[in-house]
Amino acid sequence: MESLTWTLFVVLTVATVVVVLGSRKKKSKSSKKLPPGPRGVPVIGNLLELGKKPHHSLARLSEAHGPIMRLQLGRVTTVVISSCEMAREVLQTHDLLLSNRTVPDALSVLNHNQYSLSFMRVSPRWRDLRKICNNQLFANKTLEASQDLRRNKLQELLGDMKKASEVGEAVDIGRAAFKTTVNLLSNTFFSVDFVHSAEEAGEYKEIVVSILKEVGAPNVSDFFPALRFLDLQGIRRRSVVSVKKVLTIFRRFVAQRMATREGTGSNNNDDLLDALLNISQDNGKIEMDKDEIEHLLMNIFVAGTDTTTYTLEWAMAELLHNPKMMSKVQKELEEVVGKGKAVEETDIGKLPYLEAVIKETFRVHPPVPLLLPRKAESDVEIGGYTIPKDAQVLVNAWVIGRDPKKWKNPSVFAPERFLEMESEIDVKGHHFELIPFGSGRRICPGLPLASRMLPLMLGSLLNCFGWRVEEGMKLDELDKEDEYGITLEKSQPVRIVPVKLSD
């Protein structure tokens, strides 16, 4: 089934869909003013217009139909938001009515949708989990206490790059960043490294990527709920395999730690797993069971590793294509940090051009191009149109970051734009021109950690090494094409050679 195209899937299921839907009652005409949109074909609606890169396809459609646009994707009414003004309405003004999610069938496996902080309904349980993330896992106090850990993992990354530079070996920079990020998280939570080599990092990365691709893939089961039991594309079947692999890792760690605590009666690790287990055994206001801990860990690891990795990989690709910009950021690093030294967290606020490079990377290559889908709890009036109850709402952060009404020369990678602005634009959900982490109550809880890790890794890699493409490869072969999943992956990995800087 995997070898068939999306179009063929639709064609093969149309006959079944017609039978399923043939007996439905005709709806009475509505007086609601629905958003405009392209005319669909019977039964399947606008499905064929999504293509392999929905963020691109929806951007083109919005040029014709406007910043708030309606599509019919099978049985699912979908409203697409393509401007910062409309995004503000969805993510801030009407956040309360648009905070819940449409849940992909791929996440229904092993009841993960019931535990996933990213997809579970806004509820007292969801609020408890957000409090745990905000007040303990990603609180400033916690992050300050774990600075040494990040410093150690960063030194390991630079050590790997040093070895490669000594023999002129090309490195997969995304895989190297992934190894650093996943080991940072695993040490923060479990006091151990998850992966010990680039090969292990690659294997684990493939599992994470497979989960995100299955969740983001256009799925007949999502567009025609009556057909879910057929799993026509095998997405749920493949998701079960990948999710089990990840959950097995966390279950092993949790079980080992619980056994140790029961045996010794102590919690000597003093890491975040101990903190979560303390909460689960506290009998206080917030309750957690073992399943919730395991699924929360999976949520954090899958979401946190991939987005950070891709952003760093995109930033390196853009700088390699713009050597003047790379020289400029390296000069800033040399002046502030000292040539050849790793960046410290106290340095980050003194590196405005590095920060501008990261913001510009977020603008051109947002890690989650359509953010995560929202669902209307009731009819919502936005921009003079009605978003009907139960409609799916997508915010196209990719096209918002390329809006010519808001950004001069939007297709050009130009970090300087952020230094020339009269007022600062940040990525914390306050400025809707730039919302890589979302906004409102559903903003990514890992933002505080990502805000530290990205400048540390990118800045240190640029300050400690020069970079060139591997032998026999031309710079223009280092493509900047993206590949859609939930996250925005590069279609080709960035393989480059670190070069020791001269004194």
CB–CB of 333/343 below 8 Å? Answer: yes
Cβ pair 254, 120 in contact under 8 A: no
In a domain, 135, yes or no: yes
d(CA 22, CA 9): 20
Output DSSP code: residue 495.
E
Confidence category of residue 22, pLDDT binned at 50, 70, 90: very low
Specify if 492 maps to a domain.
yes
Q: What average pLDDT score do residues 471-479 get?
A: 70
Q: Which range among 15-19, 242-246, 478-482, 495-499 has the greatest average pLDDT?
A: 495-499
Strands 495-500 and 171-172: antiparallel
pLDDT score recorded for residue 28 = 44
Q: Among 380, 320, 391, which Cα is nearest to 77's?
A: 391
Secondary structure of residue 404 in the 3-state scheme: coil
* Host domain of residue 349: 6-500
The helix or strand, by DSSP H or E, that contains position 136, with its residue range, turns out to be none
Residue 419 lies in a domain: yes
Structure tokens at 106: 């791929």
Alpha carbons 394 and 155: distance in angstroms, whole number: 40
pLDDT at 16 over 70: no
Q: Is the dihedral of CA 242, 317, 158, 145 positive or negative?
A: negative
Please choose, from the candidates 360, 375, 465, the residue with its C-alpha nearest in 3D space to the C-alpha of residue 103: 375
> 17 versus 78: which is more confidently predicted?
78
The DSSP call for residue 150 is: H
Could you read off the pLDDT of 413-469 as tens digits, one per residue? 999 999 999 889 999 999 999 999 999 999 999 999 999 999 999 999 999 999 998
Average pLDDT, the chain: 87
DSSP 137: I
Q: Which residue do the tokens 């490195």 mark? A: 171
pTM, rounded to two decimals? 0.92
Burial of 227 (0-12, 13-18, 19+ CB in 10 A): buried
Q: Which residue has the tokens 């670190």?
A: 498
CA distance 28 to 249: 52
Decide if 1 is inside a domain: no
Question: Does residue 214 contact residue 10 with C-beta atoms inside 8 Å?
Answer: no
Contacts of 112 (CB under 8 A, 6+ apart): 243, 295, 298
Q: With pLDDT > 70 as the criterion, what percentage of the chain qualifies?
A: 90
Cα–Cα distance for residue pair 80/83, rounded to 1 Å: 10
Q: Give the mean pLDDT of 27-39.
A: 78
Q: Phi, psi at residue 288, to the nearest 5°?
A: -140, 140
**Residue 324 half-sphere exposure toward CB, CA atoms < 13 A:** 4
Query: Rounded distance, CA 122 to CA 374, Å?
Result: 11
CA–CA separation, 498 and 171 (whole Å): 8
Is the pLDDT confidence value at 98 over 50? Answer: yes
> Would you say residue 4 has pLDDT above 70?
no
How far is the C-alpha of 174 from the C-alpha of 181, rounded, in Å? 10
The string of DSSP letters for 424-459 reads: ---SSSS-TT--TT--GGGS-TTHHHHHHHHHHHHH
Q: What is the pLDDT of residue 485?
A: 73
Distance CA 375, CA 102 (A): 6
Average pLDDT of the segment spanning 332-337: 98
pLDDT of 285 strictly over 70: no
Signed CA dihedral, 331, 337, 343, 346: sign only: negative
Q: Is residue 367 part of a domain?
A: yes
CB 304 within 8 A of CB 194: no
Q: Specify the DSSP class assigned to residue 219.
A: -
- Number of domain units in the chain: 1
Both tokens assigned to 43: 């039964």
Q: Are 370 and 398 in contact (CB under 8 A)?
A: yes
CATH of the domain at 230: 1.10.630.10
Residue 161 included in any domain: yes
Q: What Å distances lie between residue 496 and 200, 275, 297, 432, 454, CA to CA?
A: 20, 40, 32, 34, 19
